[in-house]
Chains A and B, each alone.
Chain A
Amino acid sequence: MSLKLGVPSKGRLMEKTFSWFEKRGITLSRSGSDREYAGKVEGIDGVSLILLSAGEIPRELAAGRIHLGVTGTDLVHEKLPRWEQQIEEISPLGFGKADLIIATPACWVDVETLDDLDAAAAAFRKTHGHRLRIATKYHRLVREFLTDAGVADYTLVDSQGATEGTVMNETAEAIADITSTGETLRANHLKILSDGLILQSQATLWRSRVASYGVGEKEVLSELLDRLN
C-alpha cells in the first residue's frame, strides 16, 4: 500500500504543483509519454502520484480514494458542502490565486452593490417577464452567497466556459466566475460589484479525513508533512 497523492493532470496547475514539491525535495513527474496519466514520485518512498482533473480531486478526497490532493479552494467549497468534515487543509500553495466574484455589465452605472443588483433584478423581472439570469458554474456557492445577501428574483444559468461572453450574447444578464487579473472581465465590458467577492481561492494541498491510513501510510504521511513544512 502507498499514500496516494492526487495532482491536476495538466496545464499550469500541474507544472506549478510539480515545482512546489520539487523545492521541497520531492520530484513528481509524468511517466512515459505526455498522453499517459500515470505518474512517478522520486525523493520519498511510499507515495504514489495519481493524475486527475482538478475538478475531480475534491470528490476523490471526500470518497477517501486518495489521501492527499491538490486543488483550488473554490472547487472544494463548491463540490463539498461539508468539506471540513471530510477533508483538512494542509497548506495553501501560493499559486492559482483567483477570486470568485459577481460581475455585471460596466454600463450598469446604477448597480454598484448587491443591494443595487437586487433592486435591478426586481425591475428586470417586471419588464422582461423572467428573472435576471446569472451565468456560472459555481451554483451552490453563488446561491448561498446571494441568499445570505437577500438578493431575490434572479436565476442561475449554467455556464461551463466562456462565461464572460454570456452577457454580450444575451443568454445572461450578469455572471459569477473566477478572475485573477480582471483582464477578461474588462475586455468583455463587465465590472465587479463592490461587495461581490464570494470567495478567494488558491491551489491548496488537502488531506482526506476519511481515507484509510494503515501503519505504513501513517509513517509516510508524517514524513511527508515534515518535509513540506
Chain B
Amino acid sequence: MPNRSQIQARAAMMRVRFEAAGAQVVDTPLLQPAETLLDLYGEDIRARAYVTSDALRGEQMLRPDFTLPVVQMHMTDGAEPARYTYSGEVFRRQEHDPDRSNEYIQVGYEVFERNDPAGADAEVFSLFALQLRGLPLRAATGDIGILTAAVQGLRTTDRRKAALMRHLWRPRRFRVLLDRFAGRKPEPEHRTMLLEAADPMGFEVPMIGKRRAAEIEARIDALREDRETPPISDNELAGLESLLTVRETMPFALEQLRDVAVDLPQITPALDRLEARIAALQARGVDVSRLDFEAAYGRTSMEYYDGFVFGFYAEGRPDLPPIATGGRYDALTRQLGNGAEIPAVGGVLRPDLMLEIEEAAQ
C-alpha cells in the first residue's frame, strides 16, 4: 500500500499539472458549517460526513468534499472566467464497509466559464484522462441535463414535473411517481376515502403542530387537482423509458437519443449540447468512438451535477470506489450564488487509488 508521503507527492505533482493548464491553487477550511451542507444534501449527508460542534459556531462538518466551499469562494469573490485546482484531505464516515477509507486526499480541478460549455466539459475530461494515462481504467460518461430536459418538457402539470425533478436522484421513487402519474397504479384506498369525503377536515382530533390546517387543505386540493389531471401519455412514458436504457459508445448513444427525441422533442437542445461536447472531446484528441455513454449514469450518486457527468473506474477492481469523478454543476452556483450564477464544471481524482493500482500492476 502506498504511504502518506507518496500519496502527497503524487497529489502535488498532479496539482502542478493542473496549474500548468491555467488553474489557480486554492485551499478551503477543513471545518465547514453543517447548515449549508445539510441544506444541499439533506439529512443523508450525516451518514457520510463527520459532524462536530461547539457552543459558538454550532454544528460543523469535517470537509466531505471541496466543490461546495470552492463554489462558495468563487461566488463571493471570484474573477471570470476562473480555473481552480486544489489538493487535500476529505473525510467520509464509513459505517458499512471497513475497507473504505474515511480520510483520503483528493486532487481537483474546477472551471467557471460562461462562453464555451462544450469546450470546458472537454477540457476537464481530457485533462483528467491525461492525469490517468497508462492506468487500466474504464471511463463512463453521461448527461443529467438530458433527463432533466425530458422531465421538464412533459405535457403535464408543473406540480407533477416538480415532484419528478425532486426525485430524479432516487430512481426507485422516481419510478413509483412516474407509474402513478401515468395512471398505471390504482389510487390507494385511503386516498380515495380522503378525496371523496364531504368534509375531510371535519375530524375530531385537535389541531396540533406547526403544520397548519391551511397546509393540510392545500395538499388535499392539490391531490384533488391531480386526480383530474390526465395521465402522462404512453408515448412520453415509452420515450422516458427508452431514454433511461440508452447505453452505448458516444456516437451511437447520440444516434439512439435522436430517435428518442421523436417522442420527446424537448430533449433536442440537450442533445445538441451533447453533440457539441462530442466534437469538442474529439478536437482534444479523445477517442469518442470508444467512450461509453449511459443516459442513466450519475443518477444515484452525483446529486449536484446537472449536465455532463463522468467517472473513471479500475478495470477488474469492482471493490474500489471510482478513481476520478466529475461533472457540470450550473445549478449549484445558482443555489449558492445569492442571485448570481455561472456555468461550472470540474472533478476530483484519488492519488491514493492511482498509486494502489500502479503497485498492483507491477
Residues of A within 8 A of B (CB): 81-82, 105-110, 112-113, 115, 118-120, 122-124, 127-128, 131-132, 139-140, 143-144, 146-147, 150, 152-156, 167-168, 170, 173, 189, 194
Contacts and interface: CB of A to CB of B under 8 A. Distances in A.
B240 to A, nearest CB: 18
Interface string B183-213: 0000010110010000011010111111101
Given A147-B47, A152-B42, A127 B215 contact: yes
Interface stretch (B21-29, B170-178, B259-267, B314-322): B170-178
A146 B43 contact: yes
B194 A107 contact: no
Given A119-B163, A147-B44, A107 B96 contact: no
A110 B219 contact: yes
A123 B95 contact: no
B167 A173 contact: no
Pick the most buried of B166, B191, B210, B220: most chain A CB atoms within 10 A of its CB. B210
Contacts of B211: 105, 108, 120, 124, 132, 173
B13 interface: no
B223 A81 contact: no
Contacts of B218: 123
Given A107-B205, A150-B176, 15 more contacts: A82-B95, A105-B207, A107-B203, A107-B216, A109-B200, A109-B216, A112-B188, A128-B210, A131-B42, A131-B43, A132-B211, A154-B42, A154-B43, A168-B208, A189-B206
B273 interface: no
A132 B201 CA distance: 22
Interface of B: 38, 42-44, 46-47, 95-96, 98, 163, 166-167, 170, 172-173, 176, 188, 190-191, 194, 200-201, 203, 205-211, 213, 215-216, 218-220, 223
Nearest to A127: B215
B208 A150 contact: no
B161 to A, nearest CB: 13
Nearest to B95: A81
Nearest to A166: B209
Pick the most buried of B44, B200, B215, B223: most chain A CB atoms within 10 A of its CB. B215
